[in-house]
Structure 1
Amino acid sequence: MDSYFLKPNQEATLSLYNGTFENSENIITRDRMLDASLVAQGKRTAIDPSNWKDQDSIITQLTFKTGEAGTYVAGVSTKARNIELTAEKFNSYLKNDGVLDMLQKRTTDSLLNEDAVESYQKHVKAIYQVGDVKTNDWNTVLGYPIEFVPQENPYDKYNGDTLEVQLLLDGKPLPNQLVFADFIKNSHGHTHDDESNEHEHDGQKHSHEHSTNTHKHAQEEKEHSHTSGQQLRTDAKGIVTVKLPEEGVYYLRTINMTRATDSDELTHRSKWATLTFEVSHAHGANSHTHEHDTESEIPTWLFVLGSFIIIGILVLIFRKKDN
Structure 2
Amino acid sequence: MKSILRTILLTGCLVVFSSHELFLKADSHFLAANMPAELHLFNGTFDKSENSISRDRIIDPKIVGPEYTFKPVDGDFYDKDNATFLKFKTGDAGTYVAGISTLPRNLKMTAEKFNEYLEHEGLDQVLAERKKDGSSTSGANEKYSKHVKSVLQIEGKRTDHYQLEMGYPIEFVPLSNPFDAKPGDAISFRLLRDGKPLSDQTVHYSTIIPGVDAHENENSTKTDAQGICTIQPETAGQWYLATIHMTQSDEADIDYESNWATLTFAIK
Flag whether TM exceeds 0.5 (same fold). Answer: yes
Distance 2:107 2:172 in 1: 25
Q: Which residue of 2 aligns with 1:245?
A: 234
Distance 2:179 2:127 in 1: 36
Q: Identify, as 1 or 2, the structure richer in strand.
A: 2
Deviations 1:240-275 (A, max 9, x none): 011121111110000001111x23311100000000
Deviations 1:205-256 (A, max 9, x none): xxxxxxxxxxxxxxxxxxxxx4743311111110001112111111000000
Compare 62-71 and 142-151 and name the one that shifted more. Answer: 62-71
Aligned-pair Cα RMSD in Å: 1.7
Distance 1:136 1:263 in 2: 39
Cα offset for 1:133?
A: 0.4
| Letter in structure 2 aligned against 1:169 | R
Q: Is the 8 A contact 2:47 2:208 kept in 1?
A: no
Cα offset for 1:30?
A: 0.7
Q: Which residue of 2 aligns with 1:30?
A: 55
| Letter in structure 2 aligned against 1:27 | S
Q: Which residue of 1 aligns with 2:22?
A: none
> 1:122-161 residue pairs with structure 2 within 5 A?
122-161=146-185
Distance 1:24 1:6 in 2: 23
Cα offset for 1:85?
A: 1.5
1:9 counterpart = 2:34: yes
Q: Is the 8 A contact 1:96 1:227 kept in 2?
A: no
Deviations 1:12-50 (A, max 9, x none): 221100111111111111110121101011543211121
Deviations 1:299-320 (A, max 9, x none): xxxxxxxxxxxxxxxxxxxxxx
1:267 counterpart = 2:255: yes
> 1:1-323 residue pairs with structure 2 within 5 A?
1-56=26-81, 58-185=82-209, 199-202=210-213, 226=215, 228-260=217-249, 262-280=250-268
**C-alpha spacing 1:180/1:227, structure 2 compared with 1 (3 Å):** farther
Q: Which runs of 5+ in 2 are unaligned?
A: 1-25
What SS class does the counterpart of residue 91 from structure 1 fall into? helix
Cα offset for 1:62?
A: 1.3
Give the TM-score, by structure 2 length: 0.85
Cα offset for 1:80?
A: 1.2
Larger radius of gyration: 1
Identity across aligned pairs (percent)? 44
Distance 2:216 2:203 in 1: 9
| Letter in structure 2 aligned against 1:230 | N
